[in-house]
Structure 1
Amino acid sequence: MQSRRKLRFRLLISFALFGFGLSALFAMASLYVRAKVENQLVNASLQSDVNQAVESTHADPSKPVGSRLIDAWMFSDRTIYRAPLGWQNLASGVYDMHDVDKDGRPRHYKLAVSRKYSLIGFISYDISREDLGKRQLVASLVASVILFSLLSLAIGMWLSRKVLKPVTELARRLRDFRKTGRAEPLAPYFADDEVGELALALDEYSTRLTAMVERDREFNSDVSHELRTPLAVISSTTELLQGSPDLTDKLRERLKRIERASRQATELIEALLLLSRAERRGPTRGEITDVAKVAADVIESQRPQIRDKPIEVELTQSDPVTVNAPASVLSVALTNLIGNAIKYTLEGRVTVQVEKGRIEVIDTGPGIKPEDAERLFQRGVRGEGAGGSGAGLGLAIVRRLCELYGWDVSIRPRTDANGAIASIVFER
């Protein structure tokens, strides 16, 4: 996961890098200009001086050689052997020379050479001072770069704090709102600028969101009342009809199917309404539900689906398991898992195993691909061979219910035979 840096930190780094880059460019430009100008001036001065010495000697050979610079020599073609060996074959021009002085210390100097009128003139110019000045300049520029960088960092810290103060205040108020849950307008606390526009947009969004939540709450309340009433009528009516002594076995079986469907619809509506409320307020606790009993009721309600199939449905329990959740929530989850197992199994066995802290539904159907196991819990995704019924919402609802109560639900292919294993783990 890529790290997310604060805006203030990014501004601070930008100011620091800008100051460092600007200082470094200034230092490099200063060094380049200094070296170029110095080199041109020294070369021009040396060449002019040696030319002057040659012209003076040519005009009056008896006149001692003079130079406006220190250390000048004049030789002829016959006396050039007296010059240092490294100078004797140099052509006219200016050279950078390195050697040691009489005390054995390194010496850096420029040597100007002029060959004219059978005379060879030399003028040396010690540039050790210039080297020292250059080193001092480099040290000064490095110190300036560091100083300007620190100054840029300090300015960046001050400016970032100043510039981001409204954003920090807006974030603080949003955190307070998240903690307390009390919404109050943000725009009045900020100036009419970009942050103020953002605060106004958040106020408008909060208003729309609050209105939408209120409509959703009212809708849930209406649905709860409007759907429960007819389902209660259907349930009571089927119960009364089953008590009639003149019912045939066929009609009695159909009334039982109506009763089971009514009960499943009631449980599903209660679970969905509970899910809608709990996602805002937290899950409902306080009701202890026996997992094996709910599983047995679900299996009994699924009997009509296996009437025309060579399928055996078996419930086994190795340990008593209870959960702190409404029975309707667990019933909806198990109805989807057990119902899918029966639906996709054409023949064989569906085993519901209640073990310590979990329940598993094992079938002998066609199974699933490992890469499709997680996709089946997405909205609108249905397994292969699902036929034309259903909208692919059952497992998505199961996942939401399990996440609400902290359960782990999963589906995986069997490794020992064809089929799939759906499980809910209640204790992590």
Structure 2
Amino acid sequence: MQSRRKLRFRLIVSFALFGFGLSALFAVASLYVRAKVENQLINASLQNDVDQAIENKNANPDQPLRSQLIDAWLWSDRTIYKAPLAWQNLGTGVYDMHDVEPDGHVRHYKLAVSRKYGLVGFLSYDISREDLGKRQLITGLVSAVVLFSLLSLAIGLWLSRKVLKPVSELASRLRDFRKAGRAELLAPHFADDEVGELAQALDEYSARLTAMVERDREFNSDVSHELRTPLAVIASTTELLQGSPDLTDKLRERLKRIERASRQATELIEALLLLSRAERRGPTRGEITDVAKVASDVIESQRPQVRDKPVEIELIQKGSVTVNAPPSVLSVALTNIIGNAIKYTLEGNVTVEVDKGRIDVIDTGPGIKPEDAERLFQRGVRGEGAGGSGAGLGLAIVRRLCELYGWDVSMRPRSDANGAVATIIFDRSSAQTA
């Protein structure tokens, strides 16, 4: 998983790392160049000086040994034993030497040796001061690295605040617009730069989105009005016809079926309008929906589907459960679940159990595979044995309605026999168990 960090944090870290890396590289390069040049200069100076002293002594034996540098010694091959023991076997060259003085102090010096004409010359050069200077240089460079790193960090903080201020302001205005529910233009509040260009793009997107939402809202209102009007006519006409004294029982039963279908269509329209608006509408004042009553009505409306099949539908109420939701929403959800159970059950029974903030629909159909249980709630997915009927939208609508009201819907195969179990668990805020 890719790590997500704020842009300001990344900008600050980039400046700090850049400053630290640049100053550290400068410090390392300075130390290397200093050490390289210093070593070459000291070695060349010492070697040239001791060679020059030997040449002068050989040309003028009566003159004392002279050197431009101090601490010079000259012995012959016969008197070399007078030299310090550590020097006696050294050949021509420059050596890095360390001696411990009587007071315990370690003396660091360079020793140049030259062997010519039976003479052995030594020239020492104390580099303790160079060591002190090197330590001081290192201390100064480390201080410079820390100082430049802190300076880079401060610059990063200042620049990040200044550079990202328009972006933060843009995000703040977007949050304010979302809370206020208004669509004020963003571009006039920002300069003509990249952030202003982003604000203008957001304004254009907001305008298109608002126009699309407005078109959908008008379409939904028109569809709702145009569909509810004929359904109301059908409902009122069937109600009047049922009051006629000369109706036969068969005709009266058909009128009841028309009335149930009209009521289901009205409830479905209301539920679909809620989904299209992504709007959770509670019941009217004092209206609490009884889950068992709605389940009973749905079962009665679905009984015509089992006339030609040896299937029994049973409602078991183990407790009284009410939900704070419109009856139409619960009716549409249960109609799809119970209707599916009846459609897939060729023989046996369909049991609807209401108990403890939940409702279970248990059938004796062919069942489902555990890996297919979640897929059945996707649009266009139908269970095995569905035949040519249905478009695979019923359970998808149920899932969306349950998500809108905070309910949990699921399906699973039965563990004790063939068949499936569909369950709706109502959330605590909308479900009350007696």
What TM-score, normalized to structure 1?
0.93
Give CA-to-partner distance per residue, 1:389-414, whole Å, 9 cap, x none: 22222222112211221211122222
Give CA-to-partner distance per residue, 1:335-370, whole Å, 9 cap, x none: 111112222223322211100111111222233333
For the structure 1 residues 108 and 79, does the alpha-carbon distance in structure 2 shift closer, same or farther, using more than 3 Å as the test? same
Higher mean displacement: 249-258 or 261-270: 249-258
Give the distance between the partners of 1:238 and 1:197, measured in 2 at CA. Answer: 61
Give the distance between the partners of 2:135 and 2:142, measured in 1 at CA. Answer: 10
The answer to whether the 8 A contact 2:317-2:354 is kept is yes
The answer for the alignment partner of 1:315 in structure 2 is: 315
The answer for the alignment partner of 2:378 in structure 1 is: 378
Give the distance between the partners of 1:183 and 1:30, measured in 2 at CA. Answer: 60
Secondary structure at 1:164 match in 2? helix
The answer to whether the 8 A contact 2:406-2:426 is kept is yes
Give the distance between the partners of 1:153 and 1:88, measured in 2 at CA. Answer: 57
Give CA-to-partner distance per residue, 1:23-42, whole Å, 9 cap, x none: 11111111111111111111
The answer to whether the 8 A contact 2:281-2:326 is kept is no
Q: Is 1:83 the equivalent of 2:83?
A: yes
1:221-236 equivalence runs, <5 A: 221-236=221-236
Give the distance between the partners of 1:225 and 1:20, measured in 2 at CA. Answer: 70
Give the distance between the partners of 1:166 and 1:240, measured in 2 at CA. Answer: 67
What TM-score, normalized to structure 2?
0.92
Q: Once the 2 structures are TM-superposed, how far is the Cα of residue 416 of structure 1 from its aligned partner? A: 2.7
Give the distance between the partners of 2:68 and 2:380, measured in 1 at CA. Answer: 97
Higher mean displacement: 1-10 or 307-316: 1-10
Give the distance between the partners of 2:235 and 2:95, measured in 1 at CA. Answer: 113
For the structure 1 residues 417 and 59, does the alpha-carbon distance in structure 2 shift closer, same or farther, using more than 3 Å as the test? farther
Give the distance between the partners of 2:149 and 2:338, measured in 1 at CA. Answer: 69
For the structure 1 residues 29 and 243, does the alpha-carbon distance in structure 2 shift closer, same or farther, using more than 3 Å as the test? same
Give the distance between the partners of 1:251 and 1:88, measured in 2 at CA. Answer: 134
The answer for the alignment partner of 1:283 in structure 2 is: 281
Q: Once the 2 structures are TM-superposed, how far is the Cα of residue 204 of structure 1 from its aligned partner? A: 0.9
For the structure 1 residues 385 and 98, does the alpha-carbon distance in structure 2 shift closer, same or farther, using more than 3 Å as the test? farther
Give CA-to-partner distance per residue, 1:92-123, whole Å, 9 cap, x none: 22222223123221222222222222322222
Q: Once the 2 structures are TM-superposed, how far is the Cα of residue 144 of structure 1 from its aligned partner? A: 0.6
1:233-382 equivalence runs, <5 A: 233-241=233-241, 253-277=253-277, 279-280=278-279, 282-286=280-284, 287-382=287-382
Secondary structure at 2:68 match in 1? coil
Give the distance between the partners of 1:233 and 1:313, measured in 2 at CA. Answer: 32
Q: Once the 2 structures are TM-superposed, how far is the Cα of residue 239 of structure 1 from its aligned partner? A: 4.3
Give the distance between the partners of 2:161 and 2:194, measured in 1 at CA. Answer: 16
1:137-152 equivalence runs, <5 A: 137-152=137-152
Give the distance between the partners of 2:81 and 2:346, measured in 1 at CA. Answer: 115
Higher mean displacement: 113-122 or 262-271: 113-122
Give the distance between the partners of 1:75 and 1:365, measured in 2 at CA. Answer: 116
Give the distance between the partners of 2:318 and 2:159, measured in 1 at CA. Answer: 68
Superposition RMSD on alpha carbons, in Å? 2.1
Q: Once the 2 structures are TM-superposed, how far is the Cα of residue 175 of structure 1 from its aligned partner? A: 1.5
Q: Once the 2 structures are TM-superposed, how far is the Cα of residue 247 of structure 1 from its aligned partner? A: 6.0
Q: Once the 2 structures are TM-superposed, how far is the Cα of residue 253 of structure 1 from its aligned partner? A: 4.7
Query: Sequence identity of aligned pairs in percent?
Result: 83
Q: Once the 2 structures are TM-superposed, how far is the Cα of residue 294 of structure 1 from its aligned partner? A: 0.6
Give the distance between the partners of 1:387 and 1:67, measured in 2 at CA. Answer: 113
**Residue type of the alignment partner of 1:182:** R
Higher mean displacement: 415-424 or 287-296: 415-424
Give CA-to-partner distance per residue, 1:4-61, whole Å, 9 cap, x none: 3222222112111111111111111111111111111111111111111221222223
Give the distance between the partners of 2:83 and 2:368, measured in 1 at CA. Answer: 98
Give the distance between the partners of 2:390 and 2:316, measured in 1 at CA. Answer: 29
For the structure 1 residues 213 and 102, does the alpha-carbon distance in structure 2 shift closer, same or farther, using more than 3 Å as the test? same
For the structure 1 residues 127 and 365, does the alpha-carbon distance in structure 2 shift closer, same or farther, using more than 3 Å as the test? farther
Q: Is 1:24 the equivalent of 2:27?
A: no
Higher mean displacement: 241-250 or 410-419: 241-250
For the structure 1 residues 121 and 366, does the alpha-carbon distance in structure 2 shift closer, same or farther, using more than 3 Å as the test? farther
Secondary structure at 2:349 match in 1? strand
Secondary structure at 1:302 match in 2? helix
Secondary structure at 2:109 match in 1? strand
Give the distance between the partners of 1:197 and 1:423, measured in 2 at CA. Answer: 50
Q: Once the 2 structures are TM-superposed, how far is the Cα of residue 191 of structure 1 from its aligned partner? A: 1.2
Give the distance between the partners of 1:366 and 1:384, measured in 2 at CA. Answer: 8
The answer to whether the 8 A contact 1:358-1:427 is kept is no
For the structure 1 residues 110 and 327, does the alpha-carbon distance in structure 2 shift closer, same or farther, using more than 3 Å as the test? same
Secondary structure at 2:353 match in 1? strand
Q: Once the 2 structures are TM-superposed, how far is the Cα of residue 238 of structure 1 from its aligned partner? A: 4.1
- Aligned positions, number: 426
The answer for the alignment partner of 1:219 in structure 2 is: 219
The answer for the alignment partner of 1:195 in structure 2 is: 195
The answer to whether the 8 A contact 2:364-2:417 is kept is yes
Give CA-to-partner distance per residue, 1:218-267, whole Å, 9 cap, x none: 11110111111222233344445556667666655544444333322221
Structure 1, gaps ≥5 residues long = none
The answer to whether the 8 A contact 1:283-1:404 is kept is no
The answer for the alignment partner of 2:432 in structure 1 is: none
Give the distance between the partners of 1:357 and 1:93, measured in 2 at CA. Answer: 97
Secondary structure at 2:43 match in 1? helix
